Every structure is written in structure tokens, then in C-alpha cells.
């Protein structure tokens, strides 16, 4: 419908994005022999052996389970604590509110590398090392501020009269919040959850530092395999492809909110 | 919206406060604690004063890492912001193609950082990677594991691949908020394409651009996993950015004191730059208002 | 400047329109005379804005041609048509000053600086913003922004036509009146063709020499305000213009006599036999209470200031009439007299032309 130039730009850009991913998928469907001995643009000797290796070996697939457990825990925790806080920031002025808000945001600016070692010591000393909850709590460092920020933006868009009407109608605060307010900002909650999921899912440094065996995330499993066996490219690529799936599913479910979510309700 | 004064709102903020205190304040205090002490093992610590800070500020190794970091961040901002705007301007406005573009563009953002590294590690290798093979076939001597320039190019292209979509999606959201009447009025006024961009689209994208630049600045300044997986900070130290250097120091060499002092300065630098940037941008915004 | 001709024009927003219902604009022929002040009146969603956007070239019609003078501009882009348009909601270039905003259309067309300066000054005086020329547009009120939009629309002297798309929606009432007067004066001074879209009949009737009434994608009548009032061409015009709107009664018509549920009502002219659904229409201004005639049940009487409105029912159909100030308010039942020469006859909502004068009784 627009100039053909636009279509060309988009095609080129999307190719740029997709070709490296294609190459990963391509590798995951080849045997190691094909990968190292010949150079092929698509798998001539199609195999699913790499995927079979991952899906039958607990050392591999437990990595996915662990990652998903702490990601879901983190998303749940972040949203639960962020909701009331965002409500407070969007509706009331109180002692030190601006400073508190800014301080929360500064946590989003903290390099994980700075926190890696102190986290390790903190969680070791309270006996949480190598548990899912440890990683989930550590990721709250950057996800809670983000969730508060996004939710506050959405809540500001809901007129205050709705709160007042509900109170006049005799709703208690918790009942009002759950029954009336939360459905109103459902898309905001979805967007915030999406971002929490995303940032927790992609993070490696903290999750690797805080786990050794029982809660080891897939990302860490992959890096260790590389350093140990070094050259099993097919399995490594298959593991990489499998990490794309949760992200892909999440994008599919929130596709209609993506643009809005990226604007963080603040444009 | 008029907000009423209500100190009881603190109760609503309390859970967040406790959680963040646990996950941010306590670790940060540990860091501060280390930064002013020295140890010879055995869990015995001695007061070291500001020694580590002096060492950090004068350390040539850290200066070099900081230099690389600033250069890296400057380059990726200079590429990703204009490219992101350009892509956003060319995206379809609505319908099936718009959804498809959104979904495909969001893909790289949801790939775990180390897998991003893995993808580019594989893609760029001269023996098995499409990029490496192609470049070699074209007669270009490319090898990111031995040549520092190739390593830099690879890491930068990887970051552009990974994050340009974020900038583009933010700008796209900004563009979506422009009413059709603005474009119609511009046609009536016979504005050139450039004038439409300069006087309609850019001013409307200003808010989201601020968010985009801030996010990209912070995240690129903290980058660790992706270059670490691809180059391991090499060849030599050529792609050792601040976070990589810090982790090497803290976990690799267990130099707790210097690492802690380094951490604090690092954090403060990010805070300071973000704050200055934010203030400058919002002030520019305010000057426009009478 | 030129006459604007729409020939066999129709538009659908669907790529493949099936039936007539898919068309936002039904097939029409229309001529806008050069230098006319037109109002395009109709309810929301009747196709007014679509028509406007087709004239200015923002939309390409699905069918038919648009001609400026003798030139076919159907496929010409907006810029070539040399049209000015003002939108419903203010469109200003936020980062520019008021002066730059007003100068923008002229600068884009490469006019020389001295001329631009003079012209901007003139327009600024007209919209009452000479004092604010160097402030940025961003922080201004909606009122002021819309005045800038109006100013930008009028700044070019050589335009073929100026189109206004409900431009005064966001302006407060007293300013509305003032700006409308300004537009009127501007029209007299420069003689541009002006097309003013509105759903407000007062705005339309006070601004325009000719009012074009649209209903469901069709032009139902074009005429002077008097014509629309005296002889509405379509029941919609009768209903939409006037306050309250025209009264309609189901009737049988033969010659110069109508019968409403058997009650004879004399007409002012002779009508041919017509098929379809036949109604007679008469404005509340021309209905009066009498001792004999149509039986009416009075529901209530409203005092609206200048006059009183009597609301009642005739055989279950609502009826309104205006009561003179001096007449005492009646209640209960009474009879209505309709002024014969003010009655119009409609068949399937369209006005039937009388064939001759009323026979002498």
C-alpha cells in the first residue's frame, strides 16, 4: 500500500534478523559430521538426533525446567508486589514518593556484574544457594522496578472517579482492587508480565552464579557444555533453538500489545 | 491527575521496599564493605580506607576497559538509534504485515543473551558459519578469534542485530500515536518528506526516543554475556568491556577489594550519565513550553 | 480558482464493494460553483468527510471523476490541486513558532520572504494572534491551536478552494461566532470557494449561501437556507433542519386533498397520483390550534424562551407546533389546522413536485 522502497527496507532488515537464526536451526538439524566436514546451506542429511539427545537427557532438559520455574516464579513475585506499589504511586502523594520512585528505577541501572558476587555470598549465607527462589529473587532486582514503572503508566490512564465510585458503592479496597481495578488494567498487567518474563528468561550472569546443580538454567548448561566437550555443535544449536520457543510463544500471545507495551503507556 | 496526600500509601509500597532492600541494599552494602577492606585470606579483613578506590581510578587496565566500553556504547548508539528510526518509518502501519513484522522483530529480544552469543559465534566462524564462510569466499581475511578489528565488528553487528528492534518498536509505538490528520495537513501544506519527518514524526517520537536511548545506554554499558560467549573478551583484551573485566577480577581472581571499589564507581558512572542525560532531555522539553 | 465538478462519483472503503450498502458515498453528480460559500450539512457518519477528502485528493474515489474547471484531477495528488483544508482537531507543528506555522505552506511553495512576512502578519491580525507570533505552538490551548490551523488554511491567496471539516468543534462558543464572522468576511473579500462541513444547522445556515444536505452517503438537497426551510426535498432535510423538525403524517393524497386517517387536509397545490409510502410534512411554525381539523392529544408545553413548543399526538404520531406568546396554553384535546400552502407531499421520503395550482374551492 505504500512505496515499494519501504517493503524493500523491511525485507532486508528482516532477512538480517532471520538469517543468523536460520543458520542456527539449520545446524541443529545436521549431524556433526555434516557440520564439520562439509559446508551446506540446508541439511542434506536431515537428523533429529540432536533434539533427541536433549529431550532424553535429564542433564539437558532439566535445564529448561529449571529456567521456566524461576522465570515463572519471578514473574509472579514481581507482578504481585509491583501492583500495590504502582497503585500507590499512581494515586497518592506521600512522604518521599519521588525519591523512592527514582531510587527504584536506579536498580534497573545496576550492572548485574556488580551484584554477582554479593548475591552469591548473600544467598549462600541464608542457605538459598542453588535454589529456584534465589534466582527468582535476584531477578527481582531489575524486574520489580520495571514492573512498577510500566504498571504505573497504565494505572494513570484509569480515571480516579472509578475508584471513588467503587468506594461509594461499598467495595472494600482489596475487593475493589481485584474485582474492578485489575480487569481494567489487564493489558498493562499482560505487558508487565511479558517484560518480566523476557528479562528473566534472557539473563545469564546472575542465574549462573547462583546455581550449581539443582536449579541450573538451560543457559548455563549450554555454556558449560561448550567448555567441556567443545565441539558438539549440533546439540548446542538444537539447545539454542529450543530456547527460542518459550520466547516465540510469549510473543505470539501478546502480539497485539507489543507496540503498546513498548510505549510503556507513556507516549 | 490530582493526587491526594496520603502517607498510608507507604503500606502499599512496603512489599516492594522489603524485596528490593533484600535484593539490592544488602548486596550493595556488602560491596561497600569490601571496597574499604583488605584480606589475606582466612576471612580476616583489615581496614584499607580509600586505597582500592585510588587504585581503581588510576588503574590503566580499568582505564582501557572504560575506553573500550565508551567507544562500544557510542558506536552502537550511533548505529542503532538512526537505524531503528529508519526501520520504524518503513514499517507497515497496520494489518497482517504489521503484525508479522512486529512478531519477527521481537524475536531477537527474547533470545537468552548467551544464545545470542552462540548464534553469532556459530554464524561468524570461518569453518562452519555462513558469515565467516561467505566473507572468506569473497576474499576477505576475516577471523574474529584472532583479529581485533574483526572481533569488534562482529560484536557490534551482533548488538545491532540484537537490539535495533527495541529502538524500532519503541519508535513505531510513537509513530502510531500520530493522528492521520497530521499527515493529511502536511500534504495540503505541500510539506516535503523530510519536513514531515522533521516537524511531525520526530517531535512525536521524542518521548519514546528518550526511553530508547536511556535503555540502550544502560544495557550496552552493562553488556557482559554476548561478547563473552563470542570472543571471551579477546583477542587479547580487545573486547574486554567493563562487566567482563569486573567479573574476571571478582570471580576469576577473587580480588574482592578492588572489584568492589570498581563496582561502586561503575554503578555511579551509569547513574550519573543516565541522570545527566535524563535531566538534559527533560529540560530541553520544558524550554519549549512558554 | 475554479469550478469543482464531481461526476458519477462514488466511494467505498472496501476493496471490492458488493452492494450499495458497501458504499460510504453513493453515486452522485454535483457542481460547486466558483466562489460559492457552501455548507455541507449532515449527521455524523453520513459521508461528509469522505466527500471532502475526495475533493482535496487525500482519498481517491472508487468511481467517477473530479474536475477542477475543465481539468480532470481525479488522479492528481493533493499538492497539485492547490487546496487548503482545515481539520476538525487542531493540527499544528509543535516545534515551530506560531509565525513559522503560518508561514509553512507559503515557504514550501517557495514564496519570497517579504511576501511571506506580510501575509503572515495579515493572517495573524485576522485570527487575533499578532501578539503571540513568536511563541512555540506546543504549549498553546486547543482554541489557539485551532486558530493557527485556520490561519494556515487561509494564508495562501491563490487556492482553488478552502475546505473546512467541522473546524469549530473545539472552539468555545463566543469565539465560534467571531471566527465564523471572520470567515464570512474573508469570503466576501477574496471570493474563494469555501466548503464548510458541519453537523450543526445553525453554523451551516449562518455561514453558507448554499447548503448541501447529506444523508446516508447521498446528497439529498442543495439549496439556500430558505429553500431548505420552505420546501425540504427529503424527509431527512425536514427533520434535520429546523428546531423542532418538520411534522410528518401518514396520508393518502389525491389531487389537492390529503386524508390523514380519513380526516381531510387541504393542500396548497395539486399533486399527481404517487405510489409508495405517502406522507405529508408541515413545519411546526405552520401548525396552529383551531376549533376544527385534526384531533390532537396535548402531551406537554415547553417554554424555550423565544416561544413555546406544544408537543402532542395525532393518531399516535408525535406532532409539534409553535405557540405564539399571547395564546393561553391549552390542555387535553384540541384540533389542529395546517397552513395548506406550507404542506409538502413525500413519497418514499422524497418530495413530490406538484403539477399545478390548487383548484378554486
Q: To the nearest whole angstrom, how far is the Cα of B87 from the nearest Cα of chain C?
A: 23
> Over the stretch A117-141, which tens digit does the pLDDT of each residue have?
788 888 888 888 888 999 999 999 8
Residue that is last in its domain, among C239, C266, C281: C239
Residues in chain A: 267
SS3 content of chain C, % helix, strand, coil (to 5): 30, 35, 35
The answer for B129, left when phi > 0, alpha when psi is -120 to 50, beta otherwise, is beta
- Residues C74, C171 within the same domain: yes
Q: What is the DSSP pairing of strand C263-271 with strand C252-260?
A: antiparallel
CB C280 within 8 A of CB C253: yes
Q: Which residues of B touch C93 (CB under 8 A)?
A: 199-200, 203
C-alpha cell at C222: 442543495
Predicted pLDDT of residue C330: 64
Predicted pLDDT of residue A82: 93
Class level of CATH domain A56-262: mainly alpha
The separation between CA C253 and the C-alpha centre of its own chain, rounded to angstroms, equals 30
Nearest CA to C237 out of C352, C351, C354, C353 is that of C351
| Domain annotation covers residue C15 | no
Whole-angstrom distance, CA of residue C8 vs CA of residue C27: 6
B187 touches chain C (CB under 8 A): yes
Whole-angstrom distance, CA of residue B23 vs CA of residue A114: 12
* pLDDT level of residue A29 (50, 70, 90 thresholds): confident
Is B188 within 8 Å of C139 when comparing Cβ atoms? no
Task: Indicate whether A259 pLDDT > 60.
Answer: no
Predicted pLDDT of residue B161: 94
Nearest by CB to residue A109, choosing from B12, B170, B271, is: B271
Helix H or strand E segment including A81: helix A58-91
Whole-angstrom distance, CA of residue A216 vs CA of residue B206: 42
| Domain annotation covers residue C20 | no
* pLDDT level of residue C104 (50, 70, 90 thresholds): very high
Task: Indicate whether B86 pLDDT > 90.
Answer: yes
> Over the stretch A155-182, which tens digit does the pLDDT of each residue have?
887 888 888 888 888 888 888 988 888 8
Whole-angstrom distance, CA of residue C342 vs CA of residue C228: 13
* pLDDT level of residue C360 (50, 70, 90 thresholds): very low
Any idea what DSSP says for residue A265? T
* pLDDT level of residue A1 (50, 70, 90 thresholds): very low
C-alpha cell at B148: 581485533
> Over the stretch B137-154, which tens digit does the pLDDT of each residue have?
887 888 887 888 888 988
CB C184 within 8 A of CB C37: yes
Residue in chain B lying closest to C156 (CA): B189
Query: For B17, what's the count of Cα atoms within 13 Å in the CB-facing half-sphere?
Result: 14
Mean pLDDT of A198-222: 83
Domain ranges of chain B: 12-49, 62-287
Whole-angstrom distance, CA of residue B180 vs CA of residue B198: 16
Q: What is the CATH number of the domain that holds C333?
A: 2.40.50.140
> Over the stretch C185-240, which tens digit does the pLDDT of each residue have?
888 887 888 999 988 888 888 888 899 999 888 888 998 988 888 899 899 998 88
Mean pLDDT of A208-216: 83
CB C40 within 8 A of CB C198: yes
Whole-angstrom distance, CA of residue B88 vs CA of residue B169: 7
Any idea what DSSP says for residue C171? S
| Domain annotation covers residue C310 | yes
Is C108 within 8 Å of B199 when comparing Cβ atoms? no
Test the A interface: residue of B114, B130, B242, B279 with most A CBs within 10 Å: B114
Predicted pLDDT of residue A266: 42
β partners of residue C234: C350
Residue in chain C lying closest to B196 (CA): C93
CB C87 within 8 A of CB B181: yes
Is A81 within 8 Å of B109 when comparing Cβ atoms? no
Query: For B64, what's the count of Cα atoms within 13 Å in the CB-facing half-sphere?
Result: 11
B200 touches chain C (CB under 8 A): yes
C-alpha distances (whole Å) from A142 to each of A109, A136, A152, A196, C93 are: 8, 11, 16, 9, 38
Whole-angstrom distance, CA of residue A46 vs CA of residue B171: 41
C-alpha cell at A106: 536506579
Q: To the nearest whole angstrom, how far is the Cα of B253 from the nearest Cα of chain A?
A: 12
pLDDT, averaged across chain C: 86
Q: Which of the two residues, B85 and B214, has the higher pLDDT score?
A: B85
Angle at which helix B256-287 crosses helix B51-58, to 10 degrees, equals 70
Residue that is last in its domain, among C186, C205, C239: C239
Whole-angstrom distance, CA of residue C345 vs CA of residue A45: 85
Residue in chain C lying closest to B178 (CA): C91
Residue that is last in its domain, among C239, C257, C285: C239
Residues 202-231 of A with CB under 8 A from B: 202-205, 209, 218-219, 222-223, 226
Intervals of CATH 1.10.3720.10 along chain A: 56-262
> Over the stretch B259-288, which tens digit does the pLDDT of each residue have?
888 888 888 888 888 888 777 776 765 554
Residue in chain A lying closest to B14 (CA): A85
Residues in chain C: 361
Whole-angstrom distance, CA of residue A17 vs CA of residue A5: 18
CB A197 within 8 A of CB A68: no
Q: Which residues of B touch A256 (CB under 8 A)?
A: 99
Q: Which residue has the cell 550492572?
A: A111
Query: For C21, what's the count of Cα atoms within 13 Å in the CB-facing half-sphere?
Result: 0
Q: Which residues of B touch C91 (CB under 8 A)?
A: 179, 181-182, 184-185
pTM for this model (two decimals):
0.80
Q: Which residues of C touch B182 (CB under 8 A)?
A: 91
- Residues C264, C181 within the same domain: no
> Over the stretch C285-343, which tens digit does the pLDDT of each residue have?
888 888 888 888 888 888 877 778 888 888 888 888 888 766 666 667 788 888 888 89
Task: Indicate whether A227 pLDDT > 70.
Answer: no
- Residues C231, C249 within the same domain: no
* pLDDT level of residue B290 (50, 70, 90 thresholds): very low
C-alpha distances (whole Å) from C82 to each of B56, C51, C54, C113, C193 are: 67, 17, 13, 20, 12
CB-neighbour burial class of residue B11 (10 A; exposed 0-12, middle 13-18, buried 19+): exposed
Mean pLDDT of A4-19: 89
What is the extent of the structural domain holding C300?
243-357
> Over the stretch A59-117, which tens digit does the pLDDT of each residue have?
888 888 999 999 999 999 999 999 999 999 888 888 888 788 878 888 877 788 778 87
A76 touches chain B (CB under 8 A): no
Q: What is the CATH number of the domain that holds C96?
A: 3.40.50.300
CB B142 within 8 A of CB B135: yes
- Residues C76, C197 within the same domain: yes
For CA atoms C20, C21, C22, C28, give the dihedral sign.
Answer: positive
In sequence order, the 6+-apart residues with CB closer than 8 A to the CB of A75 are A143, A193, A196, A197, A200
The separation between CA C336 and the C-alpha centre of its own chain, rounded to angstroms, equals 31
Whole-angstrom distance, CA of residue C227 vs CA of residue C221: 9
Query: Which ipTM was obtained for this model?
Result: 0.83
Nearest by CB to residue B188, choosing from C78, C93, C138, is: C78
- Residues C150, C162 within the same domain: yes
Whole-angstrom distance, CA of residue B218 vs CA of residue A207: 20
DSSP 3-state of C102: helix
Fold of B62-287: MetI-like fold (1.10.3720)
B193 touches chain C (CB under 8 A): no
Predicted pLDDT of residue A15: 92
Q: What's the structural domain count of chain C?
A: 2
Nearest CA to A207 out of A142, A260, A264 is that of A142
Largest Cα span, chain A: 76
Predicted pLDDT of residue A117: 79
* pLDDT level of residue B85 (50, 70, 90 thresholds): very high
Mean pLDDT of C8-16: 86
Amino acid at each position: 500500500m505504500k512505496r515499494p522502497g519501504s517493503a524493500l527496507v523491511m525485507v532486508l532488515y528482516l532477512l538480517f534478523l532471520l538469517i543468523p537464526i536460520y543458520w542456527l536451526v539449520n545446524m541443529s538439524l545436521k549431524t556433526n559430521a555434516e557440520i564439520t566436514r562439509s559446508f551446506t546451506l540446508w541439511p542434506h542429511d536431515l537428523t533429529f538426533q540432536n533434539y533427541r539427545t536433549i529431550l532424553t537427557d535429564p542433564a539437558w532438559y532439566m535445564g529448561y525446567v529449571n529456567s521456566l520455574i524461576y522465570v515463572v516464579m519471578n514473574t509472579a513475585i514481581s507482578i504481585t508486589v509491583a501492583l500495590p506499589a504502582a497503585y500507590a504511586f499512581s494515586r497518592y502523594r506521600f512522604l518521599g514518593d519521588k525519591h523512592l520512585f527514582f531510587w527504584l528505577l536506579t536498580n534497573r541501572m545496576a550492572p548485574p556484574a556488580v551484584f554477582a558476587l554479593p548475591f552469591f555470598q548473600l544467598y549462600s549465607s541464608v542457605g538459598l544457594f542453588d535454589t529456584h527462589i534465589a534466582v527468582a529473587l535476584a531477578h527481582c532486582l531489575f524486574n520489580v522496578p520495571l514492573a512498577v514503572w510500566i504498571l504505573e503508566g497504565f494505572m494513570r490512564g484509569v480515571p480516579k472517579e472509578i475508584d471513588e465510585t467503587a468506594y461509594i458503592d461499598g467495595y472494600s479496597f482489596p475487593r475493589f482492587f481485584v474485582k474492578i481495578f485489575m480487569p481494567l488494567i489487564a493489558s498493562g498487567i499482560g505487558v508487565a508480565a511479558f517484560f518480566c518474563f523476557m528479562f528473566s528468561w534472557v539473563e545469564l550472569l546472575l542465574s549462573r552464579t547462583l546455581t550449581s546443580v539443582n536449579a541450573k538454567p538451560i543457559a548455563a548448561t549450554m555454556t558449560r557444555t561448550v567448555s567441556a566437550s567443545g565441539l558438539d555443535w549440533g546439540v548446542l544449536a538444537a539447545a539454542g533453538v529450543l530456547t527460542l520457543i518459550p520466547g516465540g510463544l510469549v510473543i505470539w500471545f501478546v502480539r497485539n500489545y507489543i507496540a503498546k507495551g513498548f510505549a510503556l503507556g507513556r507516549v | 491527575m490530582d493526587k491526594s496526600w496520603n502517607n498510608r500509601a507507604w503500606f502499599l509500597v512496603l512489599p516492594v521496599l522489603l524485596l528490593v532492600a533484600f535484593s539490592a541494599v544488602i548486596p550493595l552494602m556488602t560491596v561497600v564493605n569490601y571496597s574499604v577492606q583488605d584480606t589475606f585470606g582466612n576471612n580476616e579483613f583489615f581496614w584499607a580506607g580509600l586505597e582500592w578506590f585510588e587504585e581503581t581510578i588510576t588503574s590503566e587496565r580499568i582505564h582501557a576497559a572504560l575506553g573500550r566500553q565508551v567507544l562500544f556504547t557510542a558506536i552502537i548508539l550511533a548505529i542503532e538509534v538512526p537505524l531503528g528510526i529508519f526501520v520504524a518509518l518503513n514499517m507497515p502501519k497496520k494489518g497482517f504485515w504489521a503484525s508479522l513484522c512486529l512478531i519477527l522483530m521481537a524475536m531477537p529480544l527474547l533470545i537468552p543473551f548467551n544464545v545470542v552469543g552462540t548464534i553469532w559465534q556459530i554464524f561468524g566462524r570461518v569453518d562452519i558459519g555462513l558469515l565467516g564462510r561467505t566473507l572468506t569466499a569473497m576474499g576477505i581475511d576475516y577471523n574474529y578469534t584472532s583479529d581485533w578489528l574483526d572481533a569488534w565488528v562482529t560484536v557490534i553487528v551482533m548488538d545491532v542485530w540484537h537490539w535495533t528492534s527495541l529502538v524500532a518498536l519503541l519508535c513505531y509505538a510513537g509513530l502510531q500515536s500520530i493522528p492521520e490528520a497530521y499527515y493529511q495537513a502536511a500534504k495540503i501544506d505541500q510539506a516535503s518528506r523530510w519536513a514531515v519527518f522533521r516537524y511531525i514524526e520526530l517531535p512525536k517520537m521524542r518521548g519514546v526516543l528518550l526511553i530508547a536511548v536511556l535503555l540502550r545506554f544502560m544495557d550496552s554499558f552493562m553488556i557482559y554475556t554476548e561478547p563473552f560467549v563470542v570472543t571471551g573478551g579477546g583477542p587479547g583484551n580487545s573486547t574486554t568491556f567493563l562487566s567482563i573485566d569486573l567479573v574476571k577480577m571478582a570471580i576469576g581472581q577473587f580480588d574482592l577489594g578492588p572489584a568492589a571499589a570498581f563496582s561502586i564507581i561503575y554503578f555511579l558512572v551509569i547513574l550519573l550519565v543516565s541522570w545527566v542525560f535524563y535531566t538534559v532531555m527533560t529540560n530541553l522539553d520544558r524550554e519549549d513550553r512558554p | 480558482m475554479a469550478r469543482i465538478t464531481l461526476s458519477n462519483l462514488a466511494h467505498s472503503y472496501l476493496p471490492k464493494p458488493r452492494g450499495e450498502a458497501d458504499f460510504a458515498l453513493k453515486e452522485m453528480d454535483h457542481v460547486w460553483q466558483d466562489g460559492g460559500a457552501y455548507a455541507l450539512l449532515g449527521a455524523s457518519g453520513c459521508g461528509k468527510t469522505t466527500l471532502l477528502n475526495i475533493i482535496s485528493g487525500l482519498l481517491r474515489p472508487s468511481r467517477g471523476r473530479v474536475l477542477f474547471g475543465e481539468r480532470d484531477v481525479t488522479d492528481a495528488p493533493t499538492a497539485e490541486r492547490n487546496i487548503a483544508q482545515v481539520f476538525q482537531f487542531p493540527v499544528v507543528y509543535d516545534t515551530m513558532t506560531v509565525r513559522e506555522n503560518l508561514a509553512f505552506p507559503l515557504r514550501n511553495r517557495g514564496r519570497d520572504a517579504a511576501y511571506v512576512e506580510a501575509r503572515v502578519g495579515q493572517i495573524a491580525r485576522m485570527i487575533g494572534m499578532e501578539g503571540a507570533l513568536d511563541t512555540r505552538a506546543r504549549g498553546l490551548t486547543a482554541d489557539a491551536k485551532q486558530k493557527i490551523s485556520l490561519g494556515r488554511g487561509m494564508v495562501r491567496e491563490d487556492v482553488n478552494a478552502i475546505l473546512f471539516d467541522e473546524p469549530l468543534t473545539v472552539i468555545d462558543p463566543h469565539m465560534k461566532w467571531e471566527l465564523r464572522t471572520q470567515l464570512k468576511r474573508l469570503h466576501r473579500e477574496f471570493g474563494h470557494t469555501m466548503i464548510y462541513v458541519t453537523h450543526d444547522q445553525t453554523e451551516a445556515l449562518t455561514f453558507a449561501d448554499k447548503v448541501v444536505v447529506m444523508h446516508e452517503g447521498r446528497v439529498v438537497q442543495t439549496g439556500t437556507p430558505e429553500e431548505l426551510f420552505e420546501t425540504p426535498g427529503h424527509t431527512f432535510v425536514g427533520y434535520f433542519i429546523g428546531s423542532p423538525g418538520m411534522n410528518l403524517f401518514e396520508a393518502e393524497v389525491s389531487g389537492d386533498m390529503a386524508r390523514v386517517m380519513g380526516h381531510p387536509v387541504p393542500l396548497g397545490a395539486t399533486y399527481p397520483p404517487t405510489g409508495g409510502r405517502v406522507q405529508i410534512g408541515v413545519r411546526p411554525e405552520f401548525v396552529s390550534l383551531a376549533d376544527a381539523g385534526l384531533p390532537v392529544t396535548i402531551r406537554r408545553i415547553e417554554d424555550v424562551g423565544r416561544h413555546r413548543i406544544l408537543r402532542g399526538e395525532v393518531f399516535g404520531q408525535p406532532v409539534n407546533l409553535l405557540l405564539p406568546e399571547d395564546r393561553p396554553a391549552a390542555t387535553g384535546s384540541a384540533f389542529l389546522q395546517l397552513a395548506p400552502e406550507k404542506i409538502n407531499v413525500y413519497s418514499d421520503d422524497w418530495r413530490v413536485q406538484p403539477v399545478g395550482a390548487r383548484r378554486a374551492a
